Amino acid sequence: MIPVKGVTDQKIAVLGLGRSGLTTARALRAGAAEPICWDDNPAARARAEDEGFACRELTKPGAFDDIAALIVSPGIPHLYPRPNPVVRAALRAGVPVDNDIGLFFRSVATSEWEEFDTAPKVIAVTGSNGKSTTVALLHHILEHVGRDSQMAGNIGRGVLDIDPPRDGGVVVLELSSYQTDLARALTPDVAIFTNLTPDHLDRHAGMGGYFAAKRRLFAEGGPDRAIIGVDEDEGLFLADQLSEGPADDRVIRVSSGQKLSGDAGWSVFARKGFLSEYRKGRQAGSIDLRAIAGLPGAHNHQNACAAYAAARALGLAPRVIEAAMQSYPGLPHRSQRIAEAGGVFYVNDSKATNVDSAAKALSAFKKIRWICGGLEKDGGLEGLKGATGEVLKAYVIGREAAQFAMQLDVEAEVCTTMAAAVTRAMAEAEPGETVLLAPAAASFDQYDSFEKRGEDFIAEVQARLKE
């Protein structure tokens, strides 16, 4: 655990008592603060009280009179579409509002670091898609070479729940826009921006607010090295803002699908399955990504470029990174090959919760029997047009499956349930085809999470393969 610094004998309010909220309360207590907790869910409050934490209704008059700060869990809105009532009460009382990411960055370094031969590093990854794979791949590379590495944030453990990093250790964080938007301290050594596509627009009042939340990690974080995906205009703009000129190699530009100019300082890009690194106009490394089973498709090649660039920024050699990538197994629910039978492949990409990530999954495979549908996100399915060329047929799940199916530009069968969709897709699949779950929608109309949806897909496939 990372004890929170600078809070001795202070009363700190914690709003939201899920995984990150309870961990925050524990870390505050470890830092000699007095956490004052609240959650609208009585069961969550009961769990906190069982651990000895005091709970207080924070919207009552005077509730913030003795509170030094309010720490808000990621899922709770602090501004758009409207502030949570507790957050608004804190704002009116002039109480600073922060989150666990801000507490982490102000608390992770200790006096012990001065005695280390190599100071620990914090690498933070943000963007719309590919964050989890980039973090997991980089963590895998570091473990492969024997570096002490921990994953935290939206993947692995909560940021305050990890062990204090040791001599030469690396902490790799996955940070969502919810987390970067509110944190009062953001000071990574290396920051990565993967890409930007529409998502969470209601939470950020549009695309501009969404990009601004991501940009804070760089503009306010001041990383020593910034790795920026430049396949969208926002990434190009961000790289330009952070760079002092074409030869400034503090910015590493990353792309999938386009060759970047070798004169632009430091760049890493992938084309036709080959990763290339250029520095100061010369090629410094290359990797054939096509045979790496854990990284299928151009979208994963972009993730590979970002992780490669971060590993290079830490001083690792190209051939060492390539050897580590070869053994990367991939992440569950992200282009995860779960079975092969009768010449048919079965792939679980339940994490494809928006249109852009689903389109990228569709581009990674041939002859697809596509299971899709769920809780449709803002913006509709317009972004899928032109991405369904390899789709033989769609099998649509979800409570609004019929409406979802009407928006697709391929033959679609309304199945509603996962069981029906898997049954129909498997019955019609032929050798050389892929049955792919890539929903292009959130899971919450039928499942508690995308993980549960993916697990259901796996269970249905495995059950029918045993028949």
State the residue for tokens 């935290």.
Answer: 152
How far apart CA 331 and CA 295 sit, in angstroms, is 10
Residue numbers belonging to the annotated binding site for ATP: 127-133
CB atoms within 10 A of CB 448: 9
Tokens of 45: 């409050």
Contact 53, 109 (CB under 8 A): no
How far apart CA 339 and CA 316 sit, in angstroms, is 34
Tokens of 151: 């994953």
User: Quick one: which of 350, 335, 322, 352 has its CA closest to 293?
Assistant: 335
Q: Which residues of 258-271 are buried (b: 16+ CB within 10 A; e: fewer)?
A: eebebebbbbbbbe
CB atoms within 10 A of CB 462: 13
CA distances from 165 to 19, 160, 202 (A): 21, 12, 36
CA distances from 146 to 61, 170, 222, 320, 446 (A): 54, 11, 28, 11, 42
How far apart CA 285 and CA 277 sit, in angstroms, is 5
In 94-232, which ranges are continuous DSSP H helix?
Answer: 100-107, 131-144, 177-182, 201-204, 207-219
Question: HSE (CB half, 13 Å, CA atoms) of 323?
Answer: 9
| E strand map for 136-250 | 149-153, 170-174, 190-193, 225-229
Q: Give ∠ CA 93-24-9 in degrees, rounded to 5.
A: 60
Residue 362: partners with Cβ closer than 8 Å, 6 or more residues away:
368, 370, 384, 387, 388, 390, 391, 436, 438
How far apart CA 207 and CA 138 sit, in angstroms, is 28
In 150-206, which ranges are continuous DSSP H helix?
Answer: 177-182, 201-204
